[in-house]
Amino acid sequence: MNNNLDPMNIKNDFPIFKRTINGYPLIYLDNAATTQKPQSVIDSLSSYYRNSNANVFRGVHTLSIEATDLYDLARQKVQKFINAKNFQEIIYTRNTSESINLVAYSWALKNLTKGDKMFISPFEHHSNLVPWQQICRKVGAQLLYIPLDDSGAIDCDKFSSLIDQNTKLISVTHMSNVLGEISPIKDLTELAHRFGALIMIDGAQSVPHMPIDVQEMNCDFLAFSSHKMLGPTGIGVLYAKKEILEIMDPFLFGGDMISEVTYEDAKWNDLPYKFEAGTPNIADAIATGTAIDYLQNIGMEKVFDHEINLVSYALEKFSSLENIDILGSQDPSLKGGVISFNHKFIHPHDLGTALDRFGIAIRTGHHCAMPLIRSFGLVAASRASFYIYNDNEDIDKLIDSISDIEDYFINE
């Protein structure tokens, strides 16, 4: 365990861990779906509504000025968190899914044509699969899949023989929400740009868990959600290079995304506002900045190291359960804080329900990655995913509880 990160101390900052589930202390292992919120984020939401509630950019009174300042400051925090060049490259959306759809309809629909190619990986969440199916079908482009090697990891050597000048876009998850596999983003970006293609990164599972530097990555687009990184639901981010955003058309219309309107036509506002129609999600943007403050105070290197240690420990403990099959790689150096598994005799939904009786929350189902789960010959799987407030004791309780559940289901 990384001694510089104390999960028990961190847990004290999260009110939800004061409650019990079915008489047991809550053990929350569903962090890939959403994370819990520290008191500081909850207080941030409350403080905005209690003290500074007003619309932004539209008033000269004190409350509007305060709200605008807080809202702008939050965007600057996001910019620095991922090391974007400037705040104009940070677009607020509702979530990762909307960020991807914004690129699909504002960039891809205009730039993909019949005969073009785009590539995604076989690991993708539905949100980074279905929009591209729809766009490619609409314009007549080919949606193709990046090949995997024998271990099930992305094979950049094989991919280099498939990508060509007709490839216009690659869109790939940075870290699989099912397998925890970390994609070779640097190599994929180099390949994309070598052939004049753009690359989009689904960072829903990476931005909350590891240091991210979009300038170093040199990605063209990056999407992520606040609620997976201690922030509130209902707000996400699209990062895109400024020169790309400038040539993209707006996705939604109305409100402050407009600079001038006549009865005949309209002109769009400057970046980033031309992509943010209507009254924005002010409170949740401010609270996202507070969540970033919390993570920055810990340090993202420490967050990532902590999760690697947890995964390594969890994989070792899972090896003691002879009826469990781990999906994907069992090399902790290739994974983030996600382990999906299947019990040979107990259905995932039964296992998840039984674990809940011990106060343990995991995810069961296809994890919004139905094709990937089916590629393992399954219709559902169980998933444990970790974060800063989890420790080895949580994993011990998970493994011990699975053993107890086995005794009930198999030996009764």
Residues 26-68 have pLDDT tens digits of 999 999 999 999 999 999 999 999 999 999 987 789 999 999 9
**284 and 259 in one domain?**
yes
Question: Percentage of the chain with pLDDT > 90?
Answer: 84
Residue 35 covered by a domain: no
Domain enclosing residue 407, as ranges: 7-30+300-411
Whether the CB-CB separation of 64 and 75 falls below 8 Å is answered with: no
**328 and 286 in one domain?**
no
Q: What pLDDT score does 46 carry? A: 97
User: Which secondary-structure segment (H or E) carries 374?
Assistant: helix 370-375
Q: Give helix 300-318 / helix 282-298 axis angle, nearest 10°.
A: 80
- Domain termination residue (choose one: 279, 297, 315): 297
CATH number at residue 357: 3.90.1150.10
Distance from chain centroid for Cα 184: 17
Q: What pLDDT score does 2 carry? A: 41
Sequence-distant (≥ 6) Cβ neighbours of residue 64 within 8 angstroms: 54, 55, 56, 57, 58
CA–CA gap between residue 375 and residue 371 (Å, rounded) = 6
DSSP for 304-333 reads HHHHHHHHHHHHHHHTT-TTEEE-S---GG
> What does the pLDDT average to over 324-345?
92
**305 and 285 in one domain?**
no
pLDDT in tens, 364-378: 989 988 988 998 898
**233 and 91 in one domain?**
yes
Q: What pLDDT score does 410 carry? A: 72
How many domains does the structure of the chain reveal?
A: 2
SS3 of 380, please? coil
**259 and 348 in one domain?**
no
**265 and 130 in one domain?**
yes
pLDDT in tens, 58-105: 778 999 999 999 999 999 999 999 999 999 999 999 999 999 999 999
> What does the pLDDT average to over 6-26?
97
Catalytic residues: 368
**247 and 291 in one domain?**
yes
Residue 205 covered by a domain: yes
**125 and 72 in one domain?**
yes
**306 and 292 in one domain?**
no
